[in-house]
Structure 1
Amino acid sequence: MDKTMEPDNLMDEMSTWRQALMGGQMLFVAFGALVLVPLLTGLDANVAFFTAGVGTLIFQLVTKRQVPVFLASSFAFIAPITFSIQSWGLPATMGGIMAAGVLYAALSVLVRLRGSGILYRLFPPVVVGPVIMVIGLGLAPVAVGMATSGIEGVVSADQALLLATLSLLTTLFVATMAGGILKLIPILCGIAVGYIAAMMMGVVDFQPMLDRPWLAMPNFVTPEFNWNAVLYMIPVAIAPAIEHIGDMLAISSVTGKKYLEKPGLKNTLLGDGLATTAAGLLGGPPNTTYSEVTGAVMLTKAYNPKVMTWAAVIAIAVAFIGKVGGFLATIPVPVMGGIMMLLFGSIAVVGLSTLIKAKVDLSIPRNLVIVSIVLVFGIGNMGLTFGEFSLKGVSLCALTAVLLNLLLPHQSGEDRYQSTEVGKEETA
Structure 2
Amino acid sequence: MENHTIIQVEDKVPFRLLIPLSIQHMFAMFGASVLVPFLFGINPAVVLFMNGLGTLLFILVTKGKAPAYLGSSFAFLAPAGIVIANWGYEYALGGFVAVGFVGCILAFIIYKVGYKWIDIVLPPAAMGPVVALIGLELSGSAASNAGLLDEVIDPRNAIVFFVTLGFAVFGSVLFRGFLSVIPILIAVIAGYVAAAITGILDFSAVMTAPIFALPNFSAPKFDLQAILIILPVILVITSEHIGHQVVTSKIVNRDLLKEPGLHRSLFGDNFSTMLSGLIGSVPTTTYGENIGVMAVTKVYSVQVIAGAAVFSIICSFIGKLSALIQTIPGPVIGGISFLLYGMIGTSGLRILVDSQVDYGKNRNQALTAVIFVTGLSGIKVNFGNVQLTGMVLACVTGMILSLVFYVFDKLKLTNDQ
Taking structure 1 as the reference length, the TM-score comes to 0.73
Comparing 111-120 and 285-294, the one that deviates more: 285-294
SS state of the match for residue 319, structure 1? helix
Deviations 1:84-109 (A, max 9, x none): 56666594776666566456534532
Correspondence for 1:34: 29
Report the CA distance shift for 1:264/1:357 in structure 2 as closer, same or farther (over 3 A): same
Aligned residue for 1:53?
52
> Quick one: distance in 2 between partners of 1:200 and 1:307?
31
**Distance verdict in 2 for CA 1:168–1:311, change over 3 Å:** closer
Distance 1:329 1:297 in 2: 24
Q: Counterpart of 2:364 in 1: which secondary structure?
A: helix
* Aligned partner of residue 231 in structure 2, secondary structure: helix
User: What residue in structure 1 maps to residue 346 of structure 2?
Assistant: 349
| Post-superposition CA distance 1:43-71 (Å, at most 9, x none) | 555334322321233234434x5537453
Does the 8 A contact of 1:184 with 1:295 survive in 2? no
Cα contact 1:95–1:230 (8 A) shared by 2: no
8 Å Cα contact 1:272-1:287 kept in structure 2: yes
Structure 2: distance between partners of 1:309 and 1:272:
15
Query: What is the Cα deviation at residue 165 of structure 1?
Result: 0.8
**Distance between the aligned counterparts of 1:169 and 1:293, measured in 2?**
16
1:23-422, aligned counterparts within 5 Å?
Answer: 24-43=19-38, 45-63=44-62, 65-67=63-65, 69=67, 71-73=69-71, 77-78=73-74, 80=75, 91=89, 101-102=100-101, 105-149=104-148, 157-220=154-217, 225-232=226-233, 234-245=235-246, 247=248, 264-281=261-278, 282-284=280-282, 286-288=284-286, 291=291, 312-386=309-383, 388=385, 390-408=387-405, 409=407
How many angstroms does 1:353 deviate by? 1.9
Residue 378 (structure 1) shift: 2.0
Cα contact 1:166–1:193 (8 A) shared by 2 = yes
Contact kept? 1:97, 1:234, Cα under 8 Å: no
In 1, Cα distance between equivalents of 2:304 and 2:183: 22
The one-letter code of the counterpart of 2:351 is: T
Identity %: 27
- Structure 1 counterpart of 2:28, which letter? A
* Segment of structure 1 superposing worse, 50-59 or 375-384: 50-59
Q: Contact 2:45–2:317 (CA<8 Å) still a contact in 1?
A: yes
**1:182-234 Cα distance to aligned partner (Å, 9 max, x none):** 33333322221111111112221111222221211234566674534432453
Does structure 1 retain, via aligned residues, the 8 Å contact 2:181–2:297? no
Change (3 A) 1:140 1:371: same
- Measured in 1, the distance between the counterparts of 2:331 and 2:371 equals 30
Change in 2 beyond 3 A, CA 1:49/1:27: farther
**Counterpart code for 2:228:** W
What's the CA shift string for 1:255-295, capped at 9, x where partnerless?
Answer: xxx97776555334422332343345442452338557868
Aligned partner of residue 270 in structure 2, secondary structure: helix
Query: Contact 2:184/2:293 (CA < 8 Å) preserved in 1?
Result: no
RMSD across aligned positions (CA)? 4.1
User: Using a 3 Å threshold, how does the CA distance of structure 1 residues 313 and 187 change in structure 2: closer, same or farther?
Assistant: closer
Paired with 1:142 and 1:261, the residues of 2 have a C-alpha distance of 33
**Cα distance in 1 between the residues matched to 2:351 and 2:94:** 30
Query: 200-209 or 25-34: which moved more?
Result: 25-34
- 8 Å CA contact 2:69–2:305 kept in 1: the answer is no
1:20 is displaced (CA, Å) by: 6.8
TM-score, with length taken from structure 2: 0.75
Determine the C-alpha separation between the residues in 2 that align with 1:144 and 1:179.
29
Give a deviation string over 1:127-161, Cα, whole Å, max 9, x none. Answer: 33222333322222332233344999xx9622211
Secondary structure of 2:388's counterpart equals strand
Report if the CA contact (8 A) 1:46-1:324 is conserved.
no
- 1:40 positional shift: 4.4
How many aligned positions are there? 387
Please say which of residues 281-290 and 134-143 is displaced more in the overlay.
281-290
1:226-254 Cα distance to aligned partner (Å, 9 max, x none): 5344324532432322432554676686x
AA aligned opposite 2:334: G
Question: Which 5+ residue runs of structure 1 have no aligned equivalent?
Answer: 1-17, 417-428
Shift in Å at residue 169 of structure 1? Answer: 0.5
CA–CA distance in structure 2, aligned partners of residues 335 and 131 of structure 1:
27
1:25 CA drift (Å): 4.9
The one-letter code matched in structure 1 to 2:57 is: I
8 A contact 1:99–1:233 mirrored in 2: no
Q: Specify whether residues 284 and 232 from structure 1 end up closer, same or farther in structure 2 by C-alpha distance, changes over 3 A only.
A: closer
Q: Please give the alpha-carbon distance, in whole angstroms, between the structure 2 residues aligned to 1:191 and 1:119.
A: 37
In structure 2, the residue matched to 1:7 is: none
CA separation of 1:319 and 1:231: change in aligned 2, threshold 3 A = same
Letter in 2 for 1:374: I
Distance 1:175 1:100, change over 3 A: farther
Tell me the alpha carbon deviations over residues 325-367 of structure 1, each in whole angstroms, 9 at most, x when there is no partner: 3113322222222222222222222222222222223343333
Query: Deviation per CA, 1:308-335, whole angstroms, max 9, x where unpaired?
Result: 6665444322221122331133222222
Structure 1 SS opposite 2:50: helix
